Amino acid sequence: MLLDKDLQSVQEVRDLVGRAYEAQKLFEKQGQSRVDAIVKAIADAALKESRRLASFAVEETGYGIAEDKHLKNSFVCEKVAAYITPLRTMGIISEDPVRKIAEIAVPMGVVAAMIPSTNPTSTAIFKCLISLKGGNGIVLSPHPAAARCTVETARICSEAAVAAGAPEGLIGCMTMPTLEATEELMKHKQVAIILATGGAGLVKAAYSSGKPAYGVGPGNVPAYIDRSASIAKAVKDVLTSKTFDNGTVCASEQSLIVDAPVESQVVAELKRLNGFFLTEEESRKLEAFAIQQNGKLNPQIVGKSALWIAQKAGIEVYPDTQALVVPLKGVGSEFPLSCEKLSPILSYYVVDGWRAGCELCKQVLAYGGMGHTLALHCQDPNIIRQFGLEKPAFRIIVNSPATHGAIGLSTALPPSMTLGCGTYGNNITTDNITPLHLIQVKRLASETVEVFPSWMQAGQTSAHPGQASPSDDQLRAAVASLVEAYLAAKGVGLESESLSQANPAAPEKKMGATKEMPTAPENVAPANPELAVQPVDFVCEQDVRSAIQNRQKICISSKAIVTPAARDLASAHDIIVVV
Which amino acid is it at 78? E
Distance (Å, whole) CA 245 – CA 235 = 18
Which amino acid is it at 46? A
Distance (Å, whole) CA 554 – CA 545 = 11
Asked whether the beta carbons of 535 and 563 are under 8 A apart, the reply is no
Q: What is the distance in angstroms between the CA of the first residue and the CA of the last residue of the chain?
A: 93
Asked whether the beta carbons of 248 and 64 are under 8 A apart, the reply is yes
Distance (Å, whole) CA 267 – CA 270 = 5
The full DSSP string for 201-252 is HHHHHHHTTTS-EEE-----EEEEE-TTS-HHHHHHHHHHHHHGGGG-STTS
Show the DSSP H helices in 448-557 as ranges: 472-489, 541-550
Asked whether the beta carbons of 255 and 347 are under 8 A apart, the reply is yes
Beta-strand ranges (E) seen in 339-417 are 345-351, 371-377, 393-398
Active-site position among 128, 149, 173, 250: 250
Distance (Å, whole) CA 133 – CA 230 = 41
Burial of 269 per CB tally in 10 Å (0-12, 13-18, 19+): buried
The full DSSP string for 150-218 is HHHHHHHHHHHHHHTTPPTTSEEE-SS--HHHHHHHHH-TT--EEEE-S-HHHHHHHHTTTS-EEE---
250 is catalytic: yes
Residues known to be catalytic: 250
